[in-house]
Amino acid sequence: MMGADEEKTVRLIQGLQREIKELVEEFEGRVVGTAGDSAFGEFDSVVNAVRCARRIQEEQSRLNAERPEDERVNSRIGIHLGDVIVEDYNVYGDGVNIAARLEPLADPGGICLSEAVYQQVRTKLDLPVQDIGLRELKNIAHPIHLYKIPPVAIARAAITTVSGDDPDVREDEIEAAVRSWVEDVIRARRLVPLLIGAFLLASPAVLFRTAGVFPTAGAILMGTVMGRVWSLRTGRSGGTRVGLGIGIAYGSFLTGWSVVTNALFVLAGLIVAATGVAGGVRRARGVPELGRRASRAQ
């Protein structure tokens, strides 16, 4: 691509790395380095690392479908779990080296996981995984058992084929998706504000004589929390604002204020939600997702 159009390719790489950085941060990680057309992300949660990596590949697959053949980008992602040495803003150690060795073993558009990663996520994430056995890695003392997550387009085709033959598979997919959403919601930092919002939303006016302020606050809080969960699930940045806007608009109907005041609140909520939708659309035109506790994408 550099040989065909150097300037356009540089812009494409810069946009890719910018979008990856945003997604890594959304999944509570950080990008600790970029070199050439690669990016290195570090996470405290290996589950978030794999989710982030999958979202990057899903978004890239979607964008590639909209691009001309000569502008399509196919990246590989390697993810490893291990201790690292943190010095200033950089991380070092065997875990970093292993992640770097896994990346070229992934298929274009796919992900390669070490045994350590697989054991942590196999019961938590519903992803197609292929066991590729023990592999020798350059400059790594011992062989490591590896697994692959296939490119998004291939995985979707396989699911579609099987689902068409077996209705039970479709039910399993729906159950897995619902279970995954619930897991995101009940994580402690989201469950508590969600419960507080539900309590405020349900609080009767006779208990809190505040002209509907508490139910309105509950609607706004619940909308914001659910919008944040949606952002993490989809990898798009506007979800929190969409949820906040919907909460503001809905909350206005729970107040005892004047019609004019309520109409202004509805308008304000719709404007906030619209900015979130616009932000999500802008983000979707970039490119998305990476892995942590040592992962490298190229």
The encoded tokens of residue 76 equal: 């590989």
pTM over cut 0.85: no
With vertex at residue 87, the alpha carbon angle to CA 84 and CA 93, rounded to the nearest 5 degrees, is 30
Domain ranges of the chain: 6-161+287-297, 187-283
The third-level CATH classification (topology) of the domain covering 6-161+287-297 is Alpha-Beta Plaits (3.30.70)
- SS3 state of residue 244: helix
Name the helix (H) or strand (E) containing 253: none
CA-derived radius of gyration, the chain: 22
Per residue in 51-84, pLDDT (tens digit) is: 999 999 988 888 888 888 877 888 999 999 988 8
CA dist., res. 130 & res. 251, Å (int): 48
Q: For 8-13, which contacts have Cβ atoms below 8 Å and span 24 or more sequence positions?
A: 8/71, 12/71, 12/73, 13/37
Per residue in 139-183, pLDDT (tens digit) is: 888 889 999 999 976 545 444 444 444 454 445 555 555 555 565
Q: Tell me, what amino acid is at 255?
A: T
